[in-house]
Amino acid sequence: MPKVLFFTNLASSIAKAIIKPAPADFDVSIHSMSLSGSEKTELMRDADFVILFPGRLEDEAIQAAQNLRLIQLVSAGYDQMNLELCQAKKIPIANNGGANAIDVAEHTVAMILAYYRRFRELDPNVRADNWRAIDTGLTTYTLEGKTLGLIGFGKIGQRVAHLLGTWGVELLYADAYPAPPEVEQKLNVARVELDDLLQRSDVVSLHVPLLPDTREMINAQTLSLMKPTALLVNTCRGPVIDEPALAHALQTGQIAGAALDVLVQEPPDPQNPLLQLENVLLSPHTAGITFDTWERRGRFIFQNLQLVWDGQPPQAVVG
């Protein structure tokens, strides 16, 4: 019987929903992410699998593992994991395989529409008896006819393209790895160089992992290429953006606005300039989190663990 440890800070009801699809012959136990490194180390010594949410684990716990076959993340991001140590120990790490791609993609589209239609201001204005405080005929916009640029075209980027495929938008993407021609044709999307995408897009949406070459890829230089009417959307990782450069671009009208689900520091410093700007729409790193996502992620997780237990290679390996 494989021993499976689930370290998490999620509510008990959510953690139980994630492990609901576990095979009956898997010994699965849930433990608080707030356990000390030494407490995790004791549990890890004879574990076959570890599930993590959030995706981080102390080095001493990884070092102690004698039988570990896979570290399975509930999330898509893996930037908090010590990849080099896991590689040295020959312990693969897998993310959720895009199980939350639809959730992040829907949130991305919702943020674009909320910004274009000024929902952040309209709702409180109605409640405060300011029925026509905003002239929407001058200050809201139609998505149809716009050019949407996707930076990163993995499962989430492709899902955004799928959702907007019937909205009458031109779809561009920039990615070091081109999608198969049949995917580009099906989604009616064109691959272009990053500079070209930034210059042409009305909306730029970020869907890249946090890696050395994506950290602060949106900076003063890349922001200078964007249209003054452009909206920047980030639902991936905060450090992909140079925040002081973005704040300056927004304050000076270099770009029109930003919709951000993620920030460099989470929760942010209340003095962060981005929090003071009216042309910024914010959400608290919740793009991938919905009621419906947990069991979907759980199904992928335990299918992956079963593959490894049966002697097959895992899916969605990131390190």
Tell me the sheet residues that pair with 94. Answer: 72, 317
> In angstroms, what CA-CA distances link 53 with 8, 18, 263, 292?
5, 11, 19, 17
Per the CB < 8 A criterion, the answer to whether 99 and 151 are in contact is no
Closest CA to 208 of 173, 237, 171, 172: 237
**Which ranges in the chain belong to alpha helices (H)?**
12-19, 37-44, 59-64, 83-88, 101-117, 119-127, 136-139, 155-164, 181-187, 194-200, 220-223, 243-251, 293-309
Per the annotation, the verdict on 56 as an active-site residue is no
> In angstroms, what CA-CA distances link 134 with 124, 141, 166, 241?
11, 13, 29, 30
Per the annotation, the verdict on 266 as an active-site residue is yes
Compute the distance between CA of residue 272 and CA of residue 20 in angstroms, rounded to an integer. Answer: 40
Catalytic residue among 69, 207, 237, 296: 237
Sign of the Cα torsion 300, 237, 103, 222 reads negative
Per the annotation, the verdict on 121 as an active-site residue is no
Catalytic residue among 42, 144, 193, 266: 266
Catalytic residue among 120, 248, 285, 299: 285
**Residues marked as catalytic:** 237, 266, 285
